Amino acid sequence: MFTANGDYSLLQGNYLFSEVGKRAAAFQAAHPDAEIIRMGIGDVTRPLVPAVIAAMHAAVEEMGAAETFHGYGPDHGYEFLREAIQKRDYLSRGIDISTEEIFVSDGAKCDVGNIQELFSRDCIVAVTDPVYPVYVDTNVMSGRGGRYVDGGYERIVYLPCTAENGFMPEMPKTTVDVMYLCYPNNPTGAMLTRAQLQEIVRYALQNGVLLLYDSAYEAYIGEPDKPHSIYEIDGARECAIEFRSMSKTAGFTGTRCAYTVVPKTLQYRDTFGNTVSLNAMWGRRMATKFNGVSYITQRGAAAAYSDEGYAQLQSVIADYMENARIIREGLQSAGYTVYGGVNAPYIWLRVPHGDSWRFYDELLERHHIVGTPGAGFGRAGEGYFRMTAFATRENTIRAMERITKG
């Protein structure tokens, strides 16, 4: 008789952003006239830039003619896109990454979830706390979480990041095998210095820990001295996988395109004692389970890397970061303590009474604004609240007016 995967029964409630959306929808249904401003899920509002649209139109035309039609694409993504990524994101920063180490995919969320197929089942996973819930939930789904006790999974090692430690994780005191990092950080908006990242890489090399570095918000780094890639750090090619996304960089949340870098220098033992290459394993996994991102989308993504597309995107990103400034200053003038919003499109504020779901309800009921409660990101997120800078300028200003007027 079929038995379902019991690990799913260990998951707690809904996926965070589904829950946030569901509550907002219930409020809207009960108050049809309320003009709700959505600053919960980090979804972009600006349209695709003209260079991307032009490239996608041209690709559609190609698909309509027998001579230029494309069927299945290459397993790792089209070479034209991987070369564009390699050149702008790595070679331009003096980082040596080959196109064979770049795997194009349909999203960083999928990749950070799927990558754990490369881990053995008993790997001990460490995450920062608060944390992007996908890292935890996907490991729970595949049996690495254990029971949920006092707001956390027994087998997962949580590294608290709070205002008290400058949102910088302390390295684990117990043995871990894999560590997820997200910088610029979702949800706190914090960014590591080069020295802090070097310390983490040193720890990983000394302890045989695989680092999973989610850099989906890299384009939002505002301070000039901050590292844009973990591979700027000595030794990272021997211990880290990096995830990047076009979602927030090029407005592709609905279009879907991302990539993952798996260096060939990542060599580990498997459960049988063989030495294996994670690059080869990930290549095998992608070839077996994925048929690639559409040609049209990859052409659009490549256009985002052209000089014209890149310049257009810088102006969109600057615009969102201006929203971040408006939110930070608006909240500060209303008396809140705020963090983030300088190297990331997220503002992390302290909830005066400490109960972040209660604050969610109050903000929605009093001001018709949706944000994300810190508790949804983990125990150490309780007492904080996240707002995104991705709303339109008009809505960002309106939201701050509603809050500052009380």
User: Interface with ligand MLT by CB under 6 A: which residues?
Assistant: 17, 41-43, 109, 132, 186
CA angle 318, 320, 127 (to 5 degrees): 110
Distance, in Å, from the CA atom of 297 to the CA atom of 94, rounded to the nearest integer, reads 28
Per the listing, tokens 């919003």 go with 341
Nearest to 260 by CA among 106, 88, 141: 106
Beta bridge partners of 370: 38
Rounded to the nearest whole angstrom, what is the least distance from the CB of residue 132 to ligand MLT in the complex?
Answer: 6
Give min distance, CB of 382 to ligand MLT, in A: 17
Give the nearest distance from C-beta 223 to ligand MLT in angstroms: 21
Closer CB to ligand MLT, 95 or 104, in the complex? 104
C-alpha dist (Å) from residue 190 to 60, 169, 221, 350, 359 = 40, 11, 10, 14, 22
Of 244, 132, 233, 114, which Cα lies nearest the Cα of 180? Answer: 132
> Rounded to the nearest whole angstrom, what is the least distance from the CB of residue 41 to ligand MLT in the complex?
4
Q: Give the residue with the Cβ less far from ligand MLT, 367 or 386.
A: 386
Q: What minimum distance in Å lies between the beta carbon of 214 and ligand MLT?
A: 10
Distance, CA of 384 to CA of 379 (rounded, Å): 10
Q: Closest CB to ligand MLT belongs to which residue?
A: 42
Using the minimum distance from each CB to ligand MLT, give the nearer residue, 46 or 264: 46
Query: What's the closest the beta carbon of residue 16 comes to ligand MLT, in angstroms?
Result: 8
Answer yes or no: are the C-beta atoms of 385 and 356 closer than 8 Å: yes
Listed residue (16, 12, 15, 135) closest to 376, CA to CA: 16
Q: For residues 186 and 312, which CB has a smaller minimum distance to ligand MLT in the complex?
A: 186
- Whichever of 36 and 123 has its CB closer to ligand MLT, that residue is 36
Extract the tokens encoding 9.
């029964």
Least Å distance between CB 343 and ligand MLT?
16
Minimum distance from CB of 400 to ligand MLT (Å)?
20
Measured from the CB atom, is 18 or 332 closer to ligand MLT?
Answer: 18
Beta strand pairing call for 178-182 and 210-214: parallel
CB 142 within 8 A of CB 122: no
Shortest distance (Å) from residue 396 CB to ligand MLT = 16
193 three-state secondary structure: coil
Residue 168's SS3 state is coil
Alpha carbon distance 355, 371 (integer Å): 14
Type of residue numbered 180: Y
CA angle, corner 177, sides to 229 and 155, nearest 5? 120
C-beta closer to ligand MLT: residue 101 or 214: 214
Whose Cβ is closer to ligand MLT: residue 267's or residue 392's? 392
User: Measured from the CB atom, is 36 or 124 closer to ligand MLT?
Assistant: 36
